[in-house]
Structure formats: structure tokens, C-alpha cells
Amino acid sequence: SYLLDGRLAEYASWRNYFDYVIVGAQKPAFFAEHKPFTELRPDGTVASTNVESFERGRIYEGGNLFDFERLTGYGGENVLYVGDHIYGDIIRNRKASQWRTCFVVQELEKEIEYIDEHRDEVHKLNELDALRGRLDDLINHHKLMLNSLDRKLDRAAPALAQELEAMRTREKRDLETLRRAFKAAITESADTERRFERGANAYWGLVFKEGNENSRFGEQVQDYADLYTSRVSNFLYYSPMQVFRSPRAAMPHERIRGY
């Protein structure tokens, strides 16, 4: 009422902004139990305990998922549920219904801003990760070459043994050089990652990431939220008819080929 009452002539009360008003739903019990709806007066006292239909401008308390869908006629993908609690709002909802979900994460704006300000470090981490992959391939190649040379030396004639031994020495030298470079890349990557994450938060780093992987929180958002945003008002930038679609999912072999 503080934010909306009297702001617009055509919407004198905050209740006029909504088709249906439900309070005290007691999530996550709303999705798992069968508590009845109760109609309330504006002062919070009970008006009726026998709710057989919803009326615009009235206030209802409690209830459950099944009766909500029955009384409104809306269900499944026709409902976008917006919440800010990963367990009580999003996970339990997705397990109990087919509603679409939007998760409001207030920390998202700061995380995006931080990553944008430190894009050079993100780029460096990506480069170091790619470098480690290349060095790992080269190390494995030189290991195979050494194994092959060892087998050849076991059965080589004296005239050829000296040449093979020289090749083996070069391979070992190159392998040690690559191993040192690989170790240095790991150390530099770990140091950069540590500085990057502690810069976001000295105790637990980034909200959505833990090193190269998604954090547990990030995994839950990815698995259970159809949409996520920093605030509900961000939807003002979209038409009410907007259809949000997931980007095409790419498997690792597609990303490597750049499809």
C-alpha cells in the first residue's frame, strides 16, 4: 500500500493492480499440501473460509497449488512464478508443478558489474586454460615418443643405438621444459583465479562460480530457473507479449568446431 496506493487515478488501491491477491501462502507448503484458501478483509480479519471462486480486488490467504489452478484456470506453462528464494520458491515449485519460474537474484547486478570491470582477468584465465590444454597435448605426445624410443633402443643395433640415445635425450629435455611450462601455467591460473574471486568477496568469491565450475548455487539456478534476473522491474523493458526462448544448447564437440 505504501508504494502503490493513490499513485494512479485508475488504480486507487494496490489491490487494483492485480487480478488475484494471495498472501500468507506458506511456501513451500503451498506446493506440497492441500490447505484451503481463506478470504480476508482489508484489515486482515477473516471474511470467509469457503472460497469457491476468486474475485478481482479481494484478498485471499493460504491455499494450495491444485486449488489455485482450478479456481483461476491457469496452470503449467501459462504461469510464470517469480520468487527470490532458491529452495522455497524455485526448487520446490519445479518439483511440484509445471509452472515456468523466474528467480530474482539481487546479487546479480554486482556480479555482472564486477566481471565486466575485470574482463582482462577473465580473458587471461581463458587463455591460460587453453594454454594448459595445448601443453598437456604436447606432453602426452613427447611421452609417447619417449616410450617408442625406449622400445627401439632395447632392440637397436650398436650403430643405431647412439643416434636413438641422442634423440631420446632431446625428447627428455623437451618434455621437462614442457612440464615446467605446464606447472607454471597451473600456478599462474590458480593465483589469477584466487585474486579474481577474492576481489568479488574475500570469503566465498563469486556467487555463481567456483573456479572453472558453477557454484552449487549457480547449478541450482541453471537447473531449476527458466529465467533469472536482478529485479522484477527489468521486465518493463519487454513487451507483455514477449516470449523468452532458451539459446541453442551446444555440446562440447560443437563448441570446439565453432558451430
Q: How confident is the model at residue 5 (pLDDT cuts 50, 70, 90)?
A: confident
Q: What's the pLDDT score for residue 257?
A: 63
What local confidence, expressed as pLDDT, does residue 214 receive? 92
* 208 close to 214: Cβ distance less than 8 angstroms: yes
Amino acid 6: pLDDT: 86
Q: 159: which residues sit within 8 A by CB, 6+ positions away? A: none
Written as nine digits, the cell of 11 is 488504480
Q: Where are the domains of the chain?
A: 123-206
pLDDT for res 237 = 94
Query: Which residues, including other chains, have CB under 8 Å from residue 87's CB and lie 6 or more apart?
Result: 28
pLDDT at 259: 56
Distance CA 225, CA 248 (A): 17
The DSSP output letter for 248 is P
What pLDDT is stored for residue 54 in this prediction? 95
Contact 192, 125 (CB under 8 A): yes
196-241 pLDDT per residue, tens = 999 998 888 999 998 888 999 999 899 888 999 999 999 999 998 8
Angle of helix 108-117 relative to helix 158-200, nearest 10 degrees?
130
Report residue 7's pLDDT band, with 50, 70 and 90 as the boundaries: confident
C-alpha cell at 77: 506453462
In the chain, pLDDT over 90 holds for what percent of residues? 58
Residue 175 CA to residue 29 CA, distance in Å, equals 61
Give residue 53's pLDDT: 95
- List the beta bridge partners of residue 21: 59
Mean pLDDT across the chain: 90
Give the per-residue pLDDT at 140: 96
Give pLDDT, residue 258.
60
For residues 109-133, average pLDDT: 95
The percentage of the chain sitting over the pLDDT mark of 70, rounded to a whole number, equals 98
Give pLDDT, residue 143: 95
Task: Give the pLDDT confidence of 33-90 residue by residue, as tens digits.
Answer: 999 999 999 899 999 999 999 999 899 999 999 999 999 999 988 899 898 887 767 7
Q: What is the pLDDT of residue 32?
A: 86
